[in-house]
Structure 1
Amino acid sequence: MEKQICELFAGVGGFRLGLNRLQSGWKTVWFSQWEPGARTQWAFDCYVQHFGDSVDINGEYHTCEDISNVDKHSIPDHTLLVGGFPCQDYSVAHSLATAEGIKGKKGVLWWDIRDTIIAKQPPFCLLENVDRLLKSPSKQRGRDFGVMLASFAEQGYSVEWRVVNAAQYGAAQKRRRTFIFAYKDNTAYHQKMANFNSEEIITEHGFMAHAFPINGYEKFRSTVMPKDIVEVSDTFKFDFEKSGFMRNGEITTVKITEAEEPPILLGQVVQKFVDEKYYIPSDKMAKWVYLKGAKKIPRTSATGHEYVFSEGPIAFPDPWDRPGRTMLTSESTLNRSSHVICDAGTGRLRLLTPTEAERLQGFDDDWTNTGMPDRMRYFCMGNALVVPMITRMGKVLDEVFADEP
């Protein structure tokens, strides 16, 4: 099977970079990256500077357009669909005769993935989302992920998922993300997995078990999902654990203990004697100390209820002997979540540089140094995935594709 990738919600190219690093023949045939409301498409420009643009099957360029307006049938054929898409409300409207059964909530990007799957029927899919996807929404836990699984089942796919903390598998950042691996029931890989039950796939023989070995697991739980996606949206609730498998609408999930590989420590990625603009000025230090410290603040809710808002302290500065904390799109701004470190040369407190942010995500140095301002470099890294996790999964994909006719 040819290794042809379609990359949706491509950002600055983390999926593509992670697979390209294997040098095992992966080829991206088309991608899409568009930031709604942005006057300048910084991420798209960065992606194109590294990889070039892609035409559709009509020889036209539609890679920097709203994906909901793109004709999915015009996307080139591919064998692996990848993408890191936003966590949104995946509820669906009731059946409409003119909408092929369901009508997804407008603006929810999952339906563009589903439409691409329906139009192109890729044998394999590898998607990324935040860890809270499995628990949303709070009033009907598990519904959103259930809608996704039902969409895959409807199209003849089996699905594995795993919440991965990148620092547990050798990366420089404590970043938990849900990875979803789906494969068509007519693939050789599906026939191979048919020899194992769900528990064996999750713990030993499946895709995720090979990419991210585990140290142990607790009691398995199972359920059968309604076949109708609207019914799933209306009634389905399930407490998904961070590892699981779905085949023929039958779901098995289990709480696992991740294996521990030595992470890259924050001290291993820091630079020395950086530009003065990254250092914390003395007149801002008191604010930083307050934001990072423990708090107990009396508050009154909109209904008049009085309560105490409290939060614990965050290490200040961030220690060198641990991996970095989860990086957000607000990195480097004056807020509680931004990293503050001791400069390796001067010993003064400062923010991360854009290059250090790239290192936390496993990108090459200066990957986003393509003309975009620093604030957008941080934003793009806060939105990105940890590239070495893609390379790990790519090694398993190489084995999977080698067995496909």
Structure 2
Amino acid sequence: MINAVELFAGVGGFRVGLEKASKQFNVTFANQWEPATKSQPAFECYKQNFNADDNEVINEDIANIIGLIPEHDLLVGGFPCQDYSVARTLAGEMGIEGQKGVLFFEIMKVVNRTKPKFILLENVDRLLKSPSKQRGRDFSVMLASLQKQGYGVEWRVINAADYGFAQRRRRVFIFAYREDTNFCKEQQKFKYNDILHNKGFFAKEFPVQEKHNARHGDQDYDLPSNLFEVSDKFSAKYLNSGVVMNGKIYTAELLPIEMKPTTLGDILNQAKKFQGEVNEKYYLTNDKKNKKDRTEYQEMKYQKGAKREKRISKTGHEYYYTEGSMSFPDQLDLPSRTMLTSEGTKNRSSHVVKDLDTGRIRYLTPIECELLNGFEPGWTDTGMPERTRYFCMGNALVVGLIKKMGNQIVEIFKDENYEDETSHSTQQLALF
């Protein structure tokens, strides 16, 4: 068995994907806790769907339960990304200094104590450029932290639609491997370019073209070992894939070998089998007026449209606000756009579709959102408010990507030695 621990578990996307890949995965411990809220719907959803007991999934601040986490082979987690999200303005981003950004260091405390063989993390791709005042600093601190603890690292920004899935969702995945593993010893034998194309963690399941993106030349850097030096002075241009080993960074802009994607229309068709006739509440009304004398339908059409409007700032400065147009309704012959936590609201980012049966314009249903991420229909129908179901799916993984990564982890473990797993000494990491 491959014993795994899932941190920042949400509704269990990593676990779903791993268990779809193989019965060899045994998630022995998970943690999910949302601060500043009394109710914990994601935790309850996880607990119900996996029939987990109180020792298997814990609803506590991670800082308080690090000593409870058991030894494990694989650590996974989609650590909070609010501080890096494209939904925030550049002036508002806080990066690794942000309140939730610092939770990465809680992961490092776990790594320092348990020394898992492998680590698989996920975040928004903007992480590679954060913060705006020192590009690449946050990601460099993460890479240096993992190097300091004795791990090599490979990363890849993956758009799920490029590899056959129904959502154009771009996320960066970070795979770290302990230096004494057979996998790491093998990686050390190869050139970095060979790792990214043929020999590395992502190469088999997520194939890429031989040529790199000509607009972005390959980059290499020496990564300082002193984390404070990295934090204070170091910056780098990180591209969509790369490797760091022995203090050397190599990064390249790879081009995927694209697979035929599942379309949004395919998802609507699939959902019909589970939800039947779509409830009237999801349709955009054409009778109720808002404060600007627009119906719900007119409001959404306005939100999606191109704009160039004269506005006045709080300081009295006059300026023009502009933004481009979006499809209204969303195209059913393409994969969906990225779902956000605001899905299902009167918001420019929400999907609106032409219903396959009625031809009327409506929002996506919670079941359709679950299917877009690859969850079973009704996965979040565990007593949480419907608005929260949308929110959870906006935060969730495309679980099919994790299944593909799980396939590769199983292959890697075939060459690993399971003996002496508890013989690694625990060291104190003074910075954390």
TM-score (norm 1): 0.92
- The structural deviation recorded for 1:119 is 0.8
Which moved further from structure 2: 36-45 or 149-158?
36-45
Structure 1, residues 169-220: CA drift from partner, whole Å, max 9, x if none? 1111000000000000000101111210111111221001122111231432
Q: 1:217–1:255: 8 Å Cα contact kept in structure 2?
A: yes
Matching residue within 166, 170, 178 for 2:160: 166
**Which residue matches 2:260?**
262
The 1-side partners of 2:127 and 2:184 are apart by 25
User: Which structure 2 residue ranges, 5 or more long, are not aligned?
Assistant: 84-93, 287-294, 418-432
Q: 1:126–1:181: 8 Å Cα contact kept in structure 2?
A: yes
SS at structure 2 position matched to 1:246? strand
- The structural deviation recorded for 1:55 is 5.5
Specify whether residues 332 and 62 from structure 1 end up closer, same or farther in structure 2 by C-alpha distance, changes over 3 A only. Answer: closer
The 2-side partners of 1:50 and 1:62 are apart by 12
Identity %, equivalent residues: 50
The 2-side partners of 1:124 and 1:22 are apart by 17
Structure 1, residues 21-71: CA drift from partner, whole Å, max 9, x if none? 123310001000011112211000000001133565xxxx7710111222x
**Which residue matches 1:96?**
none
Equivalent residues in 2 for 1:356-367, closer than 5 Å? 356-367=368-379
Q: 1:24–1:398: 8 Å Cα contact kept in structure 2?
A: no
SS at structure 1 position matched to 2:204? helix
**Which residue matches 1:68?**
63
Matching residue within 387, 399, 405 for 1:375: 387
**Which residue matches 1:341?**
353
State the AA in 1 paired with 2:257: A
**Which residue matches 1:275?**
279
The 2-side partners of 1:298 and 1:170 are apart by 42
Equivalent residues in 2 for 1:116-195, closer than 5 Å? 116-195=110-189
Equivalent residues in 2 for 1:232-251, closer than 5 Å? 232-251=230-249
**Which residue matches 1:217?**
212
SS at structure 1 position matched to 2:349? coil
Equivalent residues in 2 for 1:87-106, closer than 5 Å? 87=81, 88=83, 89=94, 91=96
**Which residue matches 1:21?**
20
The 1-side partners of 2:361 and 2:200 are apart by 45
**Alignment RMSD, CA only?**
1.7
The 2-side partners of 1:54 and 1:120 are apart by 22
Which moved further from structure 2: 319-328 or 47-56?
47-56
SS at structure 2 position matched to 1:112? helix
SS at structure 1 position matched to 2:340? coil
Structure 1, residues 118-169: CA drift from partner, whole Å, max 9, x if none? 0110010000000100000001000000000010000000000000000001
- The structural deviation recorded for 1:370 is 1.0
The 2-side partners of 1:27 and 1:127 are apart by 18
SS at structure 1 position matched to 2:152? strand
The 2-side partners of 1:116 and 1:49 are apart by 26
Which moved further from structure 2: 316-325 or 209-218?
209-218
- The answer to whether 1:9 aligns with 2:15 is no
**Which residue matches 1:47?**
46
State the AA in 1 paired with 2:58: T
Structure 1, residues 60-112: CA drift from partner, whole Å, max 9, x if none? x7710111222x232111100000012334557xxxxxxxxxxx978721011
- The structural deviation recorded for 1:248 is 1.3
Specify whether residues 90 and 122 from structure 1 end up closer, same or farther in structure 2 by C-alpha distance, changes over 3 A only. Answer: farther
State the AA in 2 paired with 1:52: N
SS at structure 2 position matched to 1:381? helix
The 2-side partners of 1:238 and 1:75 are apart by 34
SS at structure 1 position matched to 2:116? coil
